[in-house]
Amino acid sequence: MRQYYSVDAIRHAEAPLLASLPEGTLMRRAAFGLATAIIGELTARTGGVAGRRVCAVVGSGDNGGDALWASTFLRRRGAAAEAVLLNPERTHRTALTAFRKAGGRVVDNVSATTDLVIDGVVGLAGSGPLRPAAAEVFAAVDAAGIPVVAVDIPSGIDAATGATSGPAVHAALTVTFGGLKPVHALADCGRVQLVDIGLDLPSTDVLGLEASDVKARWPVPGPSDDKYTQGVTGILAGSSAYPGAAVLCTGGAVAATSGMVRYAGGALGEVLSHWPEVVAAPTPAAAGRVQSWVVGPGLGTEDTGAAALWFALETDLPVIVDADGLTLLAAHPELVTTRDAPTVLTPHAREFARLAGAPPGPDRVGATRKLADAWGVTVLLKGNVTVIAEPGGPVYLNPAGQSWAATAGSGDVLSGMIGALLAAGMPAGEAAAAAAFVHARAANLAAADPGPGSAPTSASRIVGHIRTALASL
């Protein structure tokens, strides 16, 4: 399980080490880890370190000191080390002295023949876009195609939210110290490498599932299970106008579980033609017993759709609401705020704005948490980085890595997957996070294996790769 820590938590954990260790020890420890990561990057790209040219772009403060110390260590390994000082009067003096003593050179700009640039401009202490001088330097670096290793985070990215509002560093690799921060999941930091500097960190409530976590949680039938004990998922989705939503949502549930799926709605024929294993009925009341309900995709917002939403939310079963269900719910929040059973809402940004009264804005974690707490439900905010917040509980971050899941109908598939996990008894937040993880993996697999005559990916192809994604775990 990845744990993401606030900057304040990292600073608090550093304090006793800074007080007990000789001055500069913790910085050199971090810089040695940074240099080791850079050596690995240089070796992978160029075959070695000796004779390579490295340039640190140095701001004021500790990140600049880290970059200078790392450059000093690289210089001692035979690299040509240079540094651009953006604020010479406020450069870390001890690190600069060591850098020059090792043979490092202070230069005015990054040479086009540089093999790698170290971003030591601002890191976690910064906010807002790159200042003009730094922006000019990194625009030239980008134009020359020089890879960048960032210290803590790429400069110009907001450390609290991961948002960018102007020029920012584009890093191939980000090296951070002590613990991951939410920005490492929320923003484009390239590959992220964590260096242990000996911090004693408590547990945190901002988490990220890894493959081993999903594998440990995903329901697997035991020797005494049958189709009922594994969880029966009920699907209230689709209509004569939007039968595809029902097919995709039901398909997500079928692929995610070994139990049973029941469908009720106006796309009965289309669902059965795609998924003959599904038990189908024309109305929710005739569907039979289930352990969870998925309601909303393609349902419409007229009386039939509203009746299906009311039916599901009046039960004492876990319910996931998506798409048209969210539009209906925005006008009737009391339907979920008074529920005791687990409820999951899965809005994209525009649906979120209808529910919350305002878009999520740059602080997606804070906004998702606020809505979850206010409504007493689990909220999954869709995006390239999915944010899942439980009311009064943890937040899960799931970076997709790519945008292959950003395709029509993809959210319908995800809803069916979450519903299947809820039916199997998984807690709401974990169900949403695990489904998002596998859904993103299935989308990436679909893009990597499009098949003849197919588009790179589609919601239908995502359904077809869910089982492959699960098998890869």
Comparing CA positions, the residue from 334, 370, 333 lying closest to residue 354 is: 333
Tell me: is residue 125 an annotated ligand-binding position: yes
Tell me: is residue 156 an annotated ligand-binding position: no
Tell me: is residue 119 an annotated ligand-binding position: yes
Tell me: is residue 64 an annotated ligand-binding position: yes
Tell me: is residue 213 an annotated ligand-binding position: no
Phi, psi torsion values for 443, nearest 5 degrees:
-65, -45
Tell me: is residue 198 an annotated ligand-binding position: no
Tell me: is residue 226 an annotated ligand-binding position: no
Cβ atoms 250, 275 nearer than 8 A: yes
- Would you say the C-alpha torsion 408, 409, 412, 416 has a positive or negative sign? negative
Tell me: is residue 410 an annotated ligand-binding position: no
Tell me: is residue 306 an annotated ligand-binding position: no
Phi, psi torsion values for 82, nearest 5 degrees:
-130, 165
Q: Tell me how far apart the alpha carbons of residues 435 and 453 are, in angstroms, rounded to a whole number.
A: 28
Tell me: is residue 65 an annotated ligand-binding position: yes
Tell me: is residue 425 an annotated ligand-binding position: no
Tell me: is residue 152 an annotated ligand-binding position: yes
Tell me: is residue 190 an annotated ligand-binding position: no
Tell me: is residue 63 an annotated ligand-binding position: yes
Cβ atoms 363, 352 nearer than 8 A: no
Q: Tell me how far apart the alpha carbons of residues 473 and 438 are, in angstroms, rounded to a whole number.
A: 9
Tell me: is residue 429 an annotated ligand-binding position: no
Comparing CA positions, the residue from 184, 207, 175 lying closest to residue 3 is: 207
Cβ atoms 263, 326 nearer than 8 A: no
Q: Tell me how far apart the alpha carbons of residues 121 and 131 are, in angstroms, rounded to a whole number.
A: 10
Beta bridge mates, 281 = 264
Tell me: is residue 78 an annotated ligand-binding position: no
DSSP 157-208: S-TTT---SS-----SEEEEESSB-THHHHS--SEEEEE---------SEEE
Q: How far apart are the first and last CA of the chain?
A: 15
Tell me: is residue 176 an annotated ligand-binding position: no
Q: Report angle CA 139, 143, 146 to the nearest 5 degrees.
A: 95
Tell me: is residue 332 an annotated ligand-binding position: no
Tell me: is residue 35 an annotated ligand-binding position: no
Tell me: is residue 142 an annotated ligand-binding position: no
Tell me: is residue 33 an annotated ligand-binding position: no
Instruction: List Cα–Cα distances, 163 to 120, 129, 166, in angstroms.
Output: 19, 10, 10
Tell me: is residue 124 an annotated ligand-binding position: yes
Tell me: is residue 453 an annotated ligand-binding position: no
Cβ atoms 414, 438 nearer than 8 A: no
Annotated binding site for (6S)-NADPHX: 62-66, 123-129, 152, 245, 298, 348, 412
Annotated binding site for AMP: 382-386, 411
Annotated binding site: 62-66, 119, 123-129, 152, 155, 245, 298, 348, 382-386, 411-412
Annotated binding site for K(+): 63, 119, 155
